[in-house]
Amino acid sequence: MKLAIVCPIGRLDRYGYQHVAKACMASHRNVGRGFFYPSTTRANEADPERGIISDERTWFDLDANGNERFDIMQLERAANLGYRLARDAGFDAAIGLHVNNLTMPAAADWLYFEAGRIVDIRQPWAWTYRRDQLAGLSFGCTVRRPRIINLHADPLPEVGPDALTIGGEVVARMERGDWPEMDRLAIWDIQLEMTQTDLADKLNFQRCYSDLVPKRKAVFAWGYWRDYYAAKFRQKRRIEIAPPFPERADFVSAEIAGLL
């Protein structure tokens, strides 16, 4: 079975990704043999050897001042382009990841097995599972997303914001829960290993996801996000697994961990 990784990328030199993207993207090679990295930013040049796709099909639009404007739907369109390109290149299945997702060998083996399983039984999709690092703390698997795609499925499933559609109908959404049996097989999500300046830069560019959650203010306010992340991580289950990135006192993760 030929397994691909599809992972949209933006700026790798800012927004906190400069601290984790290189290691996370290297870990993707534990999983797949083909790599499709559609770039939403013009800052990344197309690089076929590294799998970077960067052209008018993948880029964010420019605003009146010539600056790239974040658009969650364009990010998903870029991801769906990646799945189609993987299919057209002869891959059997693809795993959808983010640039701050790290895959350890045990998770990579399970993802390969699960992708092969759905291809064998002609199932169009399956779940990926996710756990978190926060500074020196590790948390159990509390999120799953429909991001293992059978590239032989017809019609090909398409990803949307935390959802999966087939033929235009939503067939699955991201779920929050508790899957302790998947703790050692889950992908690491490296959310907050960044400085407060990085976080403000990222969320201001994304308009704090106010397009998806209109009640949020579009401009970063540290007090709101500090309380948001503290409440979010208090609901997660801690586990005794060493986190993959070293703890740094100047990162947001360290401050949030101190509030738990």
Cα gap 203→225, rounded to integer Å: 10
- The full set of domain ranges for the chain reads 3-189
Q: How many residues comprise the chain?
A: 260
| CATH level 3 topology of 3-189 | Spore Coat Polysaccharide Biosynthesis Protein SpsA; Chain A (3.90.550)
pLDDT at 214: 86
Whole-number Cα distances in Å, 72 to 20, 212, 250:
21, 9, 29
pLDDT at 212: 84
Q: What does the buried/exposed string (b/e) look like for 231-248 if buried means 16 or more CB atoms within 10 Å of the residue's CB?
A: eebeebeeeebebbbeee
Tell me: pLDDT of 144 over 90.
Answer: yes
Question: Is the CB of residue 25 less than 8 Å from the CB of residue 7?
Answer: yes
**Beta-sheet strands, E only, within the chain:** 3-6, 34-38, 52-53, 93-96, 101-102, 125-134, 137-150, 158-160, 163-166, 169-173, 175-176, 187-189
* Residue corresponding to tokens 């005794």: 240
Tell me: pLDDT of 137 over 90.
Answer: yes
Q: What is the largest CA-CA distance in the chain?
A: 51
pLDDT digits (tens, 9 = 90+) for 201-251: 999 999 999 888 888 999 999 999 999 999 999 999 999 999 999 999 999
Residue 245: strand, helix, or coil: coil
Tell me the percentage of the chain whose pLDDT exceeds 90: 97
Omega into 155 within 30° of 0, i.e. cis?
Answer: yes
pLDDT at 213: 87
Name the CA dihedral angle for 173, 256, 228, 220, rounded to a multiple of 10 degrees. -110
The total of other beta-carbon atoms located within 10 Å of residue 24's CB is 23
pTM: 0.95
Residue 83: strand, helix, or coil: helix
Question: Is the CB of residue 146 less than 8 Å from the CB of residue 129?
Answer: no
* Residue corresponding to tokens 């601290």: 19
DSSP 8-class letter at 215: T
pLDDT digits (tens, 9 = 90+) for 57-102: 999 999 999 999 999 999 999 999 999 999 999 999 999 999 999 9
